[in-house]
Amino acid sequence: MNIIAIIDYGMSNLSSVEKATKYVAPNDSVVVTSSPREIDNADKVIFPGQGAAKNCMESIYDKNLDKIIKKNSKEKPFLGICMGMQVLMSYSEENSGTNCLDIFEGKVKKFKTRKDTKIKIPHMGWNKVSKKNDHPIWYKIKDESYFYFVHSYFIDPIDKSTVIGETKYGDIFSSVIARDNIVAIQGHPEKSSDTGLQFLKNFIGI
Amino acid sequence: MSITKRIIPCLDVDNGRVVKGVKFVDIKDAGDPVEVAKRYNDQGADEITFLDITASSSNRKTILNVVEDVASQVFIPLTVGGGISSVKDIRALLNSGADKITINTAAIKNPDLISEASNAVGNQCIVVAIDAKRKANSPNGISWEIYTHGGRNSTGIDALEWAQNMELRGAGELLVTSMDKDGTKQGFDLELMKAINDKVNIPTIASGGVGTLEDLYDGIEKGKADAVLAASIFHFGTYSIKEAKEYLSKKGINVRNTYD
């Protein structure tokens, strides 16, 4: 039995992530926690999040979770979801500029609607992820599978070899990245029906 | 742009049970929200909307149990509306597993609720429901007025101005229902949809009046809606979600294909 910690830093509603994780890992212990000790103690860590970058970073510092997140992201399977992906980057343009955790080098940028490619913001709905590299997280997931997205900002990592999935919304952006034991996804696997459940299952199996 | 157009079945829930006929051949209990939601998920529904029509306020909490049960077994976005009037109500629903909530009357009574809610839980969770009816006499061409209580009470508010106001205050999406078309099976009010989509840059859901699959197509193609919501054509088995998607796909609309 594995212990899977879902990091709760007060920034989002974690009930969907918790329910989906329990669904794919019925024999594991799933804990929603802000305790550094419990996170350290877990075998795998899920780092979700919603909301604005600045509030997220403030919450992370308030709860003394920055070092724990950095440490755990080096030591064990670690999955960032949505805002939990964005704050892994160095810096976000959101809230007139917010320094983030700098686990991946690169910026978080806002979608822009242009005359030639008019897009609505937030990017809300089901969109395709094109696989860019092989990775165990893609087990049994077809190329160009649909995931559910809700976000207004997207990541632009400097090291493009970390990009394992891309999505087109106006322009093409990096929707899934991975390096060593870290995987991070902009979409919401917990809301992406069978494809999303397979993705979470693959993470649990890593 | 490859984001797909969404198809959303809407279920009326009264005292924790789905009401109005839901016809699936292989379903044991058509009143059980979990069974119905599962079936729509299997057919490829992109989201599910629950409208809580429970009249008595003492039974309002049953919707939280419904959401909790459905969200534990069906993993697509769930939207819940009906009787929501405070940030506290919203948080309770989100904590139970809802992803978005829709607000209509409470936003008209207190437009600040939308800004407050959007700041508290993020605009992606806040859908403002706009029930609009055409005005008989409009000097500047067509115009629409906002109604509450299922189209019974007029407000004097212009629908297009209201849509912009709600976007500014932090609505993440608009659910636009034509009171003239609702229940008629004559198709969406396409001019209303188009007019609202010309004014706002947040996603919109067309609702009210769907009778055929072509109506869904028109809502997307002519009304410029990002999503289409329907109740009776799906519940009474006239069409399945799968048939709707196949039809739209053949006509060149980008939909999430779940049946290859």
- The whole-chain average pLDDT of chain A stands at 95
Dihedral angle of Cα A134, A139, A143, A148, to the nearest 10 degrees: -120
Let me know if residue B179 belongs to a domain: yes
The confidence score (pLDDT) of residue A11 equals: 67
Q: What is the mean pLDDT of residues A163-186?
A: 97
Interface with B, mutate which of A8, A11, A13 (most B CBs under 10 A): A13
- The whole-chain average pLDDT of chain B stands at 92
Interface with B, mutate which of A21, A112, A124, A130 (most B CBs under 10 A): A124
Positions of A annotated as catalytic residues are: 82, 188, 190
Q: What is the mean pLDDT of residues A78-105?
A: 96
The confidence score (pLDDT) of residue B74 equals: 96
Looking at the predicted structure, is the pLDDT value of residue B260 above 70?
A: no
Work out the pLDDT band at B20, boundaries 50, 70, 90. confident
Rounded-to-integer distance, Cα B113 and Cα B97, Å: 21
Contact B2 A168 (CB under 8 A): yes
Let me know if residue B234 belongs to a domain: yes
Q: What is the mean pLDDT of residues A54-60?
A: 92
C-alpha B160, offset from chain centre? 18
Let me know if residue B255 belongs to a domain: no
Looking at the predicted structure, is the pLDDT value of residue B174 above 80?
A: yes
Residues 6+ apart with CB under 8 A from B245: B7, B44, B255, B256, B257, B258, B259
Rounded-to-integer distance, Cα B128 and Cα B103, Å: 5
Instruction: Confirm or reject contact between A173 and chain B (CB < 8 A).
Output: no
Q: How many domains does one find in chain B?
A: 1
Contact A122 B77 (CB under 8 A): no
Residue percentage of chain A with pLDDT more than 90: 85
Work out the pLDDT band at B111, boundaries 50, 70, 90. very high
Residue of B75, B95, B227 with shortest CB distance to A191 = B75
Host domain of residue B103:
6-250
The confidence score (pLDDT) of residue A14 equals: 87
Least confident of A26-40, B43-57, B99-113: B43-57
Q: Which ranges in B156-210 belong to alpha helices (H)? A: 159-169, 190-199
* Amino acid identity for residue B49 in this structure: T
Work out the pLDDT band at B1, boundaries 50, 70, 90. low
3-state secondary structure of B48: strand
> On the CB side of A184, how many CA atoms lie within 13 Å of its CA?
27
B131 catalytic residue (yes or no): yes
Looking at the predicted structure, is the pLDDT value of residue A15 above 70?
A: yes
Work out the pLDDT band at B2, boundaries 50, 70, 90. confident
The confidence score (pLDDT) of residue B188 equals: 97
Residue of B75, B121, B258 with shortest CB distance to A190 = B75
CATH of the domain at A140: 3.40.50.880
Q: Which residue spans within B104-242 are E strands per DSSP?
A: 126-134, 144-148, 153-158, 173-178, 204-207, 227-230
Q: ipTM of this model?
A: 0.92
Instruction: Confirm or reject contact between B209 and chain A (CB < 8 A).
Output: no
Indicate the length of chain B as a whole number: 260
The confidence score (pLDDT) of residue B187 equals: 96
Highest mean pLDDT out of A131-140, B13-22, B147-156: A131-140
- Residue numbers in B near A128 (CB within 8 A): 2
Contact B226 A120 (CB under 8 A): yes
State the helix-helix crossing angle for B190-199 and B159-169, rounded to 10 degrees. Answer: 40
Looking at the predicted structure, is the pLDDT value of residue B130 above 90?
A: yes
Rounded-to-integer distance, Cα A83 and Cα A28, Å: 25
Residue percentage of chain B with pLDDT more than 90: 79
Host domain of residue A176:
3-205
| Sign, Cα dihedral of B26, B31, B37, B38 | negative
The confidence score (pLDDT) of residue B11 equals: 94
Rounded-to-integer distance, Cα A183 and Cα A79, Å: 5
Longest Cα–Cα distance of chain A, Å, equals 53
Work out the pLDDT band at A196, boundaries 50, 70, 90. very high
Contact B1 A121 (CB under 8 A): no
**Residue B7: which H helix or E strand, with range?**
strand B6-14
Looking at the predicted structure, is the pLDDT value of residue B246 above 90?
A: yes
CATH of the domain at B106: 3.20.20.70
Q: How many domains does one find in chain A?
A: 1
Highest mean pLDDT out of A124-133, B13-22, B52-61: A124-133
Let me know if residue B1 belongs to a domain: no
Instruction: Confirm or reject contact between B93 and chain A (CB < 8 A).
Output: no
The confidence score (pLDDT) of residue B119 equals: 86
Q: What is the mean pLDDT of residues B31-41?
A: 95
- Residue B120 CB burial class (10 angstroms; 0-12, 13-18, ≥19): middle
Let me know if residue B200 belongs to a domain: yes
C-alpha A145, offset from chain centre? 17
User: What number of other Cβ atoms are within 10 A of residue A41's Cβ?
Assistant: 12
